């Protein structure tokens, strides 16, 4: 049964293009627990783990663990997005993100998502090599209304910088630190000169989802 659970969870996450970190955020489950299930390292997950996963994917517990087949519309390759629920998130330049949402009325290319984020959410494109687990062309979906928590990835801007940067938030004894996603750079302290422009809530690697308006 556990092999079927692992297979189904991987299939469902792939269909929704959601990471373990984001799924953990949305289900209030540790991302490490989700990764263990995906990689068959947790042979006996509890109901308190499985029920939030089944609810998130809108399936029954029996379907999640493989006792019953998944609904046809959730079978790999057959999943269809609900056009009525698709949201279009504007793709900004990194420079434009500093002043956002002042340019919200301008035309932008967009990236689509089925999740509902705040009206001022925006997307940024990864434009450089060497970012940890992020390749060039990845779209980062950013929600300014989300409060940054420990280990979240954020868009950080420091006064007088020309462009913001992607950092990971680390909290230790009440102090906030910023960890770069590029190797070779040191962790820095969050100061009054810094602003958090938003929390990265999702990422997209499929460039075909970017729509020219």
pLDDT tens for residues 144-194?
999 998 989 999 999 989 999 999 999 998 899 999 988 778 999 999 999
Pick from 202, 205, 207: which is nearest to 19 by CA?
202
pLDDT in tens, the chain (213 residues): 678 899 989 988 887 778 888 888 888 898 889 999 988 886 678 888 899 898 888 888 888 888 888 776 655 544 444 544 578 899 999 999 999 999 898 889 988 887 778 889 999 999 887 787 778 888 999 999 999 989 899 999 999 899 999 999 999 988 999 999 887 789 999 999 999 999 998 887 654 444 445
CA distances, 125 to each of 55, 128, 132, 202 (Å): 31, 9, 14, 12
Domains annotated on the chain, with CATH = 2-74 (1.10.260.40), 83-211 (2.10.109.10)
């Amino acid at each position: 049964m556990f092999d079927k659970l692992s297979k189904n969870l991987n299939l469902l996450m792939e269909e929704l293009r959601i990471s373990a970190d984001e799924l953990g955020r949305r289900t209030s489950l540790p991302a490490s627990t989700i990764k263990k299930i995906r990689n068959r390292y947790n042979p006996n997950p509890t109901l308190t783990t499985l029920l939030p996963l089944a609810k998130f994917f809108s399936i029954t517990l029996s379907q999640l663990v493989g006792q019953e087949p998944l609904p046809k519309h959730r079978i790999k390759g057959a999943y269809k997005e609900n056009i009525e629920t698709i949201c279009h998130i504007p793709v900004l330049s990194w420079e434009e993100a500093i002043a956002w949402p002042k340019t919200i009325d301008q035309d932008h290319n967009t990236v689509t998502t089925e999740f509902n984020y705040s009206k001022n959410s925006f997307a940024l494109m990864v434009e450089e090599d060497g970012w940890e687990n992020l390749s060039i062309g990845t779209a980062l979906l950013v929600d300014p209304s989300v409060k940054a928590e420990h280990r979240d990835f954020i868009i950080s801007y420091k006064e007088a910088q020309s462009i913001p940067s992607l950092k990971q938030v680390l909290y230790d004894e009440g102090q906030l630190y910023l960890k770069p996603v590029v190797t070779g750079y040191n962790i820095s302290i969050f100061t009054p000169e810094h602003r958090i422009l938003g929390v990265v809530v999702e990422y997209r690697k499929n460039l075909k989802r970017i729509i020219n308006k």
